[in-house]
Amino acid sequence: MKKLLRHLNLLVVLEALLAERHISRAALRLQLSQPAVSHSLARLRQLLDDPLLVRGQGGLVLTARAHELATTIAAGAPLALRFMKENFNRATSTDLRTCLDMEADRMVRCTQTADHLEGVQAFRDKRPPKFEGR
């Protein structure tokens, strides 16, 4: 999961793939092309050194590593990731000015959270952060 935080766009694609278990449906959900999602899946597989989704009876099946990631994501992503997903989902039905205002507001709200403080302290202590989604 730590590797994925450097590639937030891939984290959004991974979440859609884990939920849909179908590349074309994940692409529709994300409003991306099917080749773009396939390319992201290839990057995820390389980054995580795991196939993540494999063909099985009735479609794609999650590997053990993918199940682990799905559980982690479902348990509650850090607040910043939840905000990012909300903004991403609203972007198609909102004008640019409103999107920029939402992003600025969320940025301020994220920097005033316990997760932000934990991230800064973890960075200073050279340890992984323990985000709680608050």
Do the domains spanning 1-75 and 77-134 agree at the CATH topology level?
no
CATH number for the domain whose boundaries are 77-134: 1.10.12.10
**57-84 per-position pLDDT tens digit:** 877 899 999 888 887 776 655 556 666 6
- Are 35 and 71 in contact by the 8 Å Cβ rule? The answer is no
Alpha helices in the chain (DSSP H): 8-20, 23-30, 34-48, 64-74, 79-90, 96-110, 114-125
Domain 1-75 CATH class label: mainly alpha
d(CA 39, CA 50): 15
Residue with tokens 């960075």: 123
Domain range list for the chain: 1-75, 77-134
| pLDDT in the model for residue 103 | 74
What's the pLDDT band for 129 if we cut at 50, 70, 90? confident
**108 vs 53: which has the higher pLDDT:** 53
What pTM was estimated for this model as a whole?
A: 0.57
